[in-house]
Every structure is written in C-alpha cells, then in structure tokens.
C-alpha cells in the first residue's frame, strides 16, 4: 500500500506543501473505493469519469506523478502514470508555460472527445490541426494500454 490514503481523503502522510487543491477535488463527492479498482479488471473507467470533469485534475495528476500514488489519480491509472514518467524522463525539459498550455489543450481535446465531438470539430473549436487532435487521442489510447 502507498504511504498516502486515498485521493478522496485529501490528506497524505508524505511531506507535502501545496496540497490545498485537494479540497476542490470531485473525488471527495464519491466513495473513495471507486479510485482503487482491482488491478487488471479494467474497472477504472468510473473513477476516470469523475476525474474528467474535475477542475483540479491536472494538479492531482502532477501530485500522483511526484509521489508515486496508487489507484486512479488525475484521471490516470498507475500504469498510465508510469508511461507518463517514462515519456517525461526521455524528453528534454520544456518551458513551463509551453508545457502548461499544451497540457491544458490536450485536456480539452480529451474532454471534447469524451463529449462525442469529431477530430475536425475539436480542431475547429481550438484552432489547431485535426492531426494534433488525432495525435493526442492516439497518445491517450497508448497510455491507457500501458
């Protein structure tokens, strides 16, 4: 078991300044067990759905990446976070503002995808290329498969 409680508990035993975002998590509105599905069962989709509309999802994800949390955090499983850490480790550092903007754009792409919009519709709304939308979607599928 990890050294923390649950995403819904909003508390950790790890030293952690900057965790005030946890009070705003949508996970606090549902059963914490939802975020700890049995490994290999593919039952993480309900927790991910809660995370999808959460306004602190990115903060939650970064926290889980930094602290090695178990369960679903920031709309990702442990396997997905391992893939993210591998990708980050293999890529050169980028400017934080650029990374934040890309991360936010990718989040919106995934939210609009979940809402049923086509790649062309999303690209039109965001003012980006449809291939960018397709790349983000493909990347998400690959992370989910990891």
Helix (H, G, I), strand (E, B) or coil at 133: helix
**Residue ranges per domain, the chain?**
15-91, 95-146
Known binding positions? 27, 51, 54, 60
Known binding positions for [4Fe-4S] cluster? 27, 51, 54, 60
β-bridge partners, 76: 73
Rounded Cα distance between 6 and 68, Å, is 12
pTM: 0.52
Question: Which of 29-33, 89-93, 126-130 has the weakest average pLDDT?
Answer: 89-93
Each residue of 120-146: b (16+ CB within 10 Å) or e?
Answer: eebbeeeeeeeebbeebbeebeebbee
Express each pLDDT in 46-88 by its tens digit.
899 999 889 898 999 999 998 889 999 999 998 899 988 888 8
β-bridge partners, 12: 4
């Amino acid at each position: 078991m990890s050294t923390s409680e649950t995403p819904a508990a909003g508390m950790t035993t790890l030293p952690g300044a900057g965790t005030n975002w946890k009070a705003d998590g949508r996970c606090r509105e549902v059963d914490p067990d939802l975020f700890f599905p049995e490994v290999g069962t593919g039952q993480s989709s309900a927790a991910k759905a809660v995370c999808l509309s959460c306004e602190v999802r990115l903060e939650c994800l970064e926290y889980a990446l930094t602290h090695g949390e178990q369960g679903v955090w920031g709309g990702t499983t442990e396997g997905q976070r391992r893939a993210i850490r591998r990708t980050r480790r293999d890529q050169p550092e980028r400017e934080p503002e650029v990374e934040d903007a890309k991360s936010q754009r990718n989040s919106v792409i995934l939210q609009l995808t979940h809402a049923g919009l086509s790649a062309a519709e999303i690209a039109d709304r965001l003012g980006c290329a449809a291939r960018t939308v397709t790349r983000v979607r493909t990347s998400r599928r690959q992370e989910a498969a990891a």
